[in-house]
Structure 1
Amino acid sequence: MLLLLVLLLVGPGLAWGTNPGDRSPTVRAVCGPDSCYTAHLERRAFREAWRACRERGGNLASIRRSREARLVEELLEGLPGHLAQGPLKLWLGLQRQPRQCAPHKALRGFTWMTGDQDTSYSNWLQEEVPGSCPASRCVVVSYAADSGHTNHKWLDGSCRLAVDGYLCRFSSPRGMCPGLDGHEPVYSTPFGVTAPALRHVPFGSVATLRCAGGDTQSLLCMAREEAALPGVGRGVGWSREPPFCQEEGAPGWCAGGANGGCQHTCVDEGAFYHCQCRDGYQLGEDGRSCAPLERCPGGLAEDGQCLDVGECRGVGCRGTGVCDDPRGCPCPEGYQLEGGECVDVDECQHRPCAQLCANAEGSYLCYCRVGFTLSEDDGTSCMDVDECQYQGACQQVCINYPGRYQCHCEEGYALEPDGYSCRPLRPHLSPPRRDWGAPTTTTAP
């Protein structure tokens, strides 16, 4: 995980930092209700920028909605002054393969690096450049403090050029905790960025609070049956309720029903606390959960007791109700019993999807390569997308192939270098129609 020195606080939800490993300013972050964006000012070509985001657990940024565009604007407009003078060009997660131009679509034939073309937002600076279709193209967003109308606009160009930096996007499907007030919180996020003053804090982040006397206190954004703060939905919250940093007359860390977030024993030591496990168990990496040192063949009861096979009838099993199976406590679908705990099964190892698979907690998701769409019937198979059905896919003749399409011209015309337009071979022929009506379409056998 990157350890980042915070240099400047520019507003709520924003952070600017450095990576001590390379001494260059690299990371700035802003988080919304379901994802975070980071700006990395490191010169990279497109492929290297994509790889850097993936190594951190994210992807090159997609901006599909206006609210996501506003987050990115906030991210860039908060850059320190000497860096914001620019002009800066930063990679987005948009790439187009050769001869896949679609100038009348919102993304012009470009595809997000997540493999789809879903969007209700685009922000192109200029019209499609003639002759750019035969080559692979990638997209940057531009920014400079005094550039006016060109700010936040999209430009496409060669994917091999190194530009000023790149934007990453990190999803938080488990949810977000609210930013904390007071005690100068600093958040260590799961994607390696340490940031102050975030409005939304990703699941799995650790908040470090500065307490009186120079002490610090850490809180975990974790799964909870009930919200740890007012206004937070069930399922995610901070590991304890306020007041934070124990004050005179305030209840102890371990008081109340939350038990300090500890699965077994909460040990209150005044300015801070820690969790302990009963004999036969060991503390988990999160510092709160407890796992048996040896496998519990009958699973764990609700109180954490290790059960032997045949002992669980009528006992409340953790997370699965009352046990009525002589073999032990059952696990929910998508989990299996390991060491007395129900752990997630990686269903993708069994190749349940026709093309691409992503494991999820207790389940999995199927998705498809570019040019295909997921079947609504079974949710696992992929069907070819007939791009030729879209108006303006080709000027004259469109032929659909599995996963792609190709434009052709009628007799007496030749295909232009953009892979879309047709020009007459002989002067007396009338020019091809320009009404962008539906082209002649066919499907390859």
Structure 2
Amino acid sequence: MTAASPPSASRPRYAVYVVLVLMVAYMLSFMDRVLISLMIDPIRTELGLGDTQVGLLVGFGFVLLYSIMGIPFGAIADSGNRRNLMVGGVLGWSAATAVSGFAGGFISLLAARAMVGIGEATLSPAAYSTIADRFEKRKLGFAVSLYNMGVSLGGGVAMLFGGVLVAWAMATAVPLPWGELTGWRLAFVAVGLLGVPLAAVMLLTVREAPRRQGGIKPPPLSALWALAMRHKAAFAAVVIGYSILVIAAYGAMLWAPVHFARAHGMSPAHLGLAFGVIIGLFGTVGLAIGGLLSDRSAKRGHPDAPVRIVLASAVLQFPLMMGAYLASDTTVALVLAAAGMATVSTIGGLQAGTLQILTPASMRGRMTAIYLLVANMAGMGLGPLVTGFVSEHLFDGPTSLGKALALVTAVSLTIGVALLLLARKAIIAAVLDNDRAEAEAG
């Protein structure tokens, strides 16, 4: 077995199993992000919050430390035991999710959300690095998309069962020495406890992946900077362009259910069923199709295969999501949202895949963390905050949030697509340069 061949090539089934376990971890990490969107109104009522404060809770309150801590965790992923890092992260964010149920006000809930972010920051840098070491490049697109199905499945499960969970929690009271645990508080605690058995499964069944370039010491951070400067246009377009596209994606995930509740009068149970299908089914289908199309394009000799699929999906996403946010008929809006979510998820599965083909194996953990820092600050941090601000201050009435979503989505998709189109030749050159470097190193 050579250094250029993934060590898992002789055990493809186990490699798929590892990705499935990582997908479940991603699914669990995403559940509480989406679940909170079903509980925004009861949380807002009990704690007396406005849309801007809600935007902070689902945005910067979570994403600030999530993004910043990804850098040191990415460094650990490049040189340390990635499995153990992820197990610790699962236990950490699960505990913080449960603690969210005991928040006494806005500040304490914001602090708990920040701690959730620190725990979840361990997962993706280590997971993407692990996947890249277990799969050949021609199969990497589908493997990364399979991992990213955790987003759509986690969101779908949260939506599908979240309404039932919230309804159960509202009708259930767990006695405590100082009172009762019920409603949205009980829902947070229940979701937090799910992380304990998952951490045990990861610890007992997932082995640390042998590295492709196991004898090479991870280069210093200055080497990443030198690589990025050597291909400035390519890395700037991928990191910034994709990050801007993420704003539209997280708008659909975090604010769309709230919009449908306000503008279309949908109940939590109805919302949970509708968005469980939209995110869980259509989102998963979009991820699978995106990975397969990217791998097919790569086999045809297109170095920028994932970028091609991202651009096509973004163009399709524009009219679909505009219609979903602005349509007055509930059925039409839901159908457009379902089709739009498929294109949103297609993009999501290929962003990290692009970085894997741009970056040497010894730098992927940190480069992924740097990308996630920018993408999450934009998508999960700035996006929800700006959307909430626009809804609260520029528009009025029950459709104000839908109009804000449409405006923010239109601007972000236009800018993101323009940046990627302008840099396509530079991206192709950077991918080919990395291929040559890896061939020489192998």
Greater strand content: 1
TM-score by length of 2: 0.21
Greater helix content: 2
TM-score by length of 1: 0.21
Of the two, which has the highest radius of gyration? 1
Whose relative contact order is higher, 1 or 2, with alpha carbons under 8 Å and at least 6 apart? 2
